[in-house]
Amino acid sequence: MPRFRAILDTMPAYKAGKAVVSADGRSHKLSSNESPYDPLPSVVEAIAEGARQINRYPDPASVRLTEALAARFGVPAEHVALGPGSVTVAQQLFETVSEPGAEVIYAWRSFEAYPLLADLAGAVSVRVPLVNEEHDLDAMADAITDRTRMIFVCTPNNPTGVPIGRDRLTAFLDRVPANVLVVLDEAYREYVRDEDVPDGLDIYRERPNVCVLRTFSKAYGLAGLRVGYLIGHEPVAAAVRKVTIPFAVNSLAQIAALASLEAEDELLARVDAVVKERTRVREALIAQGWEVPPTEANFVWLRLGDRTLEFASACGMEGVAVRPFAGEGARVSIGDPEANDTFLKAAAAFR
Ligand code: PMP
């Protein structure tokens, strides 16, 4: 029997959202916060054209995409690092800071990959419980020690959808020592409409120890191709690039991400439609008597405690896949109007 690292015995498994089908064949996947829209024809065409070259390795430095992102956000190209999904960029961040005893602080519950990546990298996870579905930033600052190397701040938070306001975030960052890296995980940034929620890029510009993580998987509809990126100061981006695996971002992903930036107006109009549906879904749930935290992402969170799995299976009977966290609650992505109506019917019947 080969001998594996001991941590593998206790590491949590990442549970990806699955689709379900009702007895009469209906299926609405609201379990992975994906875009409910078909890919744009211009993006599909660019991929088809790029497919003619797949006998060649991709550009290892993703130069065109890096430059396009730098131009889009008005940052130097040296401040951009790409990866196959922002979860991989997060993994690279863990690789850059982890050494025996290194502590990484994050809120809990938050993005499920954080504990997994910490264990893999050999870092010590310091989880700070949410309060009222929000980051407890005072407790997170109190948790900083000499061994703290990195802090993940997920805003809006997955799975509760609650973002962090400008003053609270700034006051927190003022308490973080300069040698601790703060990662603002903004996977859902494009869905934010509350003007009190700061753009992480404005914060990074003022603070050398802050970087921002974003993705093409959600608002840009490229979850299946895996492209994410970091924007951070030169030493941070350079460290992340150093620990990448060669050719990690494949050529079709690079092409599709570039085509998506070119079609950004169309994609952001779709995001507007999802935001409208989010308002409709949240208000309908509240009218049904549910408590729904104010979400700025493309999902809602229902705290269901012991009834979580029962709720998920009741939704499943209607062909609606949600993301249950046993004993805690369920996260439900905003889909197209038909999917949302089906979910709302299931939610009303469950109450
Ligand atoms: N961060 C957060 C907060 C997420 O919810 C997700 C996706 N569920 C990711 C990062 C990773 O996204 P991707 O790897 O598809 O870019």
> Does residue 313 sit in helix, strand or coil?
helix
Confidence of residue 197 (pLDDT cuts 50, 70, 90): very high
Range of lowest pLDDT (9-13, 199-203, 264-268, 298-302)? 9-13
Confidence of residue 16 (pLDDT cuts 50, 70, 90): confident
User: Which mutation among 217, 296, 298 tests ligand 1's pocket best, with the greatest number of atoms within 8 A of CB?
Assistant: 217
| Contact between 85 and 227 (Cβ < 8 Å) | yes
Residues 6 or more apart whose Cβ sits within 8 Å of residue 335: 28, 29, 30, 36, 277, 343
Domain residue spans in the chain?
A: 6-40+264-350, 41-261
158 lines ligand 1 (CB under 6 A): yes
Q: Is the pTM of this model over 0.80?
A: yes
For residue 179, the CA-to-ligand 1 centroid distance in Å is 25
Q: Which atom of ligand 1 is nearest to the CA of 223?
A: 15
What's the confidence (pLDDT) of residue 242?
A: 97
- Mean pLDDT across 170-196: 98
Task: Return d(Cα 298, Cα 335) in angstroms, integer.
Answer: 8
Helix axes 86-97 and 113-121, enclosed angle (nearest 10):
40
- Give the architecture (CATH level 2) of 41-261: 3-Layer(aba) Sandwich (3.40)
- Whether the pLDDT of residue 145 is over 90: the answer is yes
| Contact between 260 and 229 (Cβ < 8 Å) | no
For residue 164, the CA-to-ligand 1 centroid distance in Å is 18
What's the confidence (pLDDT) of residue 135?
A: 98
For every residue of 160-227, DSSP letters joined together read T-----HHHHHHHHHTS-TTSEEEEE-TTGGG---TTSPPHHHHHHH-TTEEEEEESSSTT--TTT--
What's the confidence (pLDDT) of residue 89?
A: 98
Task: Return d(Cα 72, Cα 261) in angstroms, integer.
Answer: 8
User: Which mutation among 87, 116, 323 tests ligand 1's pocket best, with the greatest number of atoms within 8 A of CB?
Assistant: 87
- Whether the pLDDT of residue 18 is over 90: the answer is no
> Does residue 299 sit in helix, strand or coil?
strand
What's the confidence (pLDDT) of residue 272?
A: 98
Burial of 303 (0-12, 13-18, 19+ CB in 10 A): middle
| Contact between 95 and 244 (Cβ < 8 Å) | no
What's the confidence (pLDDT) of residue 154?
A: 98
CA proximity to 78, closest of 203, 247, 240, 207: 240
**Structure letter (DSSP) for residue 110:** S
| Contact between 313 and 339 (Cβ < 8 Å) | no
Q: Which two tokens stand for residue 333?
A: 């992505």
Task: Return d(Cα 322, Cα 302) in angstroms, integer.
Answer: 11
User: Which mutation among 82, 91, 111 tests ligand 1's pocket best, with the greatest number of atoms within 8 A of CB?
Assistant: 111
What's the confidence (pLDDT) of residue 193?
A: 98
What's the confidence (pLDDT) of residue 13?
A: 82
> What is the ipTM for the molecules in this complex?
0.99
85 lines ligand 1 (CB under 6 A): yes
In tens, the pLDDT along 222-255 reads 999 999 999 999 999 999 999 999 999 999 999 9
Query: How large a percentage of the chain has pLDDT more than 70?
Result: 100
In tens, the pLDDT along 30-84 reads 999 999 999 999 999 999 999 999 999 999 999 999 999 999 999 999 999 999 9
- Out of 3.40.50.10470, 1.20.120.160, 3.40.1180.10, 3.90.1150.10, which CATH number does the structure's domain 6-40+264-350 have? 3.90.1150.10
Nearest protein CA to atom 6 of ligand 1, as residue: 187
Residues 6 or more apart whose Cβ sits within 8 Å of residue 334: 30, 36, 274, 277, 278, 281, 298, 299, 300, 340
Q: Do domains 6-40+264-350 and 41-261 have the same CATH topology?
A: no
CA proximity to 269, closest of 229, 220, 223, 213: 220
In tens, the pLDDT along 285-336 reads 999 999 999 999 999 999 999 999 999 999 999 999 999 999 999 999 999 9
For residue 33, the CA-to-ligand 1 centroid distance in Å is 9
Mean of per-residue pLDDT scores for the chain: 97
